[in-house]
Amino acid sequence: MQPFDSRDYRVSRGRSLDGELVVGPSLPMSNFCYTVFRLDPYIGCAHSCTYCYTRFFPSLRPSQPVARVEYPRLLAAAVEKLRRAGLRTPPLHMSALTEPFQPLERKLMLSLRLLKTALRTRTPLLISTKSTLVAEPPWLDAVKELAGEGLAAVQLSVAFLDDRVARVLEPGAPPPSERLKAAERLSSEGVPVILRAQPIVPFLNSGSEHAEEYAETARAVGAKHLIAEVLRISSWRDLEAFKRAMGEDSFRKLADPSIWERFPLGSHKHPRRELRVEAYAALKAGAEKRGLTFATCREGFYAMWSSPDCCGVFLLKERTLRYTLYELLHGPRRGYSYLTPEDYRRFPLPQARRKLLAHHEVVERTARNPSLVRALTL
Q: Which CATH number characterizes residue 114's domain?
A: 3.20.20.70
User: Which helix (H) or strand (E) element contains residue 11?
Assistant: strand 10-12
pTM here is: 0.95
The parent domain of residue 37 ranges over 6-376
pLDDT at 250: 97
Mean pLDDT of 173-183: 98
Q: How far apart are CA 158 and CA 198, in angstroms?
A: 7
Query: pLDDT tens-digit profile of 197-206?
Result: 999 999 999 9
Mean pLDDT of 194-215: 97
Closest CA to 273 of 283, 284, 286, 262: 262
Instruction: Output phi, psi for 144, to 5 deg.
Output: -60, -45
Name the residue type at position 115: L
Q: How far apart are CA 360 and CA 68, in angstroms?
A: 28
Q: How far apart are CA 52 and CA 34, in angstroms?
A: 21
Per-residue pLDDT at 292 exceeds 60 = yes
Residue 45's pLDDT band (boundaries 50, 70, 90)? confident
Whether residue 87 lies inside any domain: the answer is yes
Helix, strand, or coil here: 159? coil
Q: Where are the alpha helices (DSSP H) in the chain?
A: 27-32, 71-84, 105-108, 110-121, 139-148, 163-169, 176-188, 208-220, 248-254, 273-289, 325-330, 341-345, 350-367, 370-376
pLDDT at 2: 45
Closest CA to 124 of 336, 294, 266: 336
Q: How far apart are CA 168 and CA 178, in angstroms?
A: 16
Whether residue 1 lies inside any domain: the answer is no
Are the beta carbons of 86 and 143 closer than 8 angstroms? no
Interhelix angle for 110-121 vs 71-84, to 10°?
20
pLDDT at 9: 87
Instruction: Output phi, psi for 59, to 5 deg.
Output: -65, -20
Per-residue pLDDT at 54 exceeds 90 = no
pLDDT at 97: 83
Average pLDDT over the chain reads 94
pLDDT at 58: 60
Q: Roughly how many angstroms between the first and final C-alpha of the chain, as a whole number?
A: 47
Angle at 124 between CA 44 and CA 301, to 5 degrees: 75
Helix, strand, or coil here: 199? strand
Q: How far apart are CA 42 and CA 25, in angstroms?
A: 21
Helix, strand, or coil here: 164? helix
Number of domains in the chain: 1
Per-residue pLDDT at 6 exceeds 80 = no
